[in-house]
Amino acid sequence: MEKHSLRLLISEEEIQKKVAEASQSLIQKYQDQEFLIIMIMKGSICFVADLIRQLPPEQVSLEFVRCSSYGKRGTQKGQLVIEGLEKIDVKDRHVLLIDDIFDTGDTLEELATFLRAKQPKDLWTLVLLFKRIKRKTSFLPDQALIEIGDEFVVGYGVDYKERYRGFKEIYVITP
Ligand code: 5GP
Ligand code: MG
């Protein structure tokens, strides 16, 4: 098994505090309306699993799409692949699109553009982590919970070559 050095970046306590704050702001935002969460697999699995348990169950539906750009190459970015978006019915619904990390923004921008064309009642984009980097596009998420530097991270759903998703904390990895 490959060994990597991991440095703690965000504690479990800090993550849970931000998730609780986010759920409160979403409850305020949607009031008593129903909304559809579309989660981007697999990285947002822990975030969404924690978040939906703090939202009103009767108001929330859940769908997922799969996006991958790293895959087996680890930290080297490849072609963006999106699966499962065509089948989701978003017309006239309140849609909340959730991803783990906003990096270049390509993933969220592409998904948001595609979803908007399907005429949801409204679309809100939420990410757990926001990387502080220079970007080519002006597209930004509507809500980001934690800012980080330009480092490759793992844990709390986020992987390096499919490992480390199970950490309750987020770490910087040096492969
Ligand atoms: P973007 O399209 O914004 O450049 O990239 C977003 C996607 O890249 C995220 O959904 C995430 O899956 C992946 N990504 C970006 N930064 C990292 C990182 O530091 N670690 C891991 N494991 N994935 C990342
Ligand atoms: Mg992703």
pTM for this prediction? 0.95
Q: What atom of ligand 1 comes closest to residue 151's alpha carbon? A: 19
Q: 168: which DSSP letter?
A: S
- pLDDT tens sequence across 39-81: 999 999 999 999 999 999 999 999 999 987 765 566 777 778 8
**Neighbouring C-alpha atoms within 13 Å toward the C-beta of 135:** 16
* Distance of CA 103 from the midpoint of ligand 1 (Å): 6
Complete DSSP assignment for 25-90? HHHHHHTT--EEEEEEETTTHHHHHHHHTTS-GGGEEEEEEEEESSGGGTTS----EEES-TT---
* Amino acid identity, position 164: Y
* Distance of CA 71 from the midpoint of ligand 2 (Å): 10
Q: What atom of ligand 1 comes closest to residue 158's alpha carbon? A: 22
Nearest to 30, CA basis, from 117, 94, 123? 94
d(C-alpha 17, C-alpha 167), whole Å: 16
- pLDDT tens sequence across 30-49: 999 999 999 999 999 999 99
Please tell me if the CB atom of residue 109 comes closer than 6 angstroms to any atom of ligand 1.
no
- pLDDT tens sequence across 120-133: 999 999 999 999 99
Q: Find out whether 95 and 119 touch, Cβ atoms under 8 Å.
A: no
d(C-alpha 11, C-alpha 14), whole Å: 5
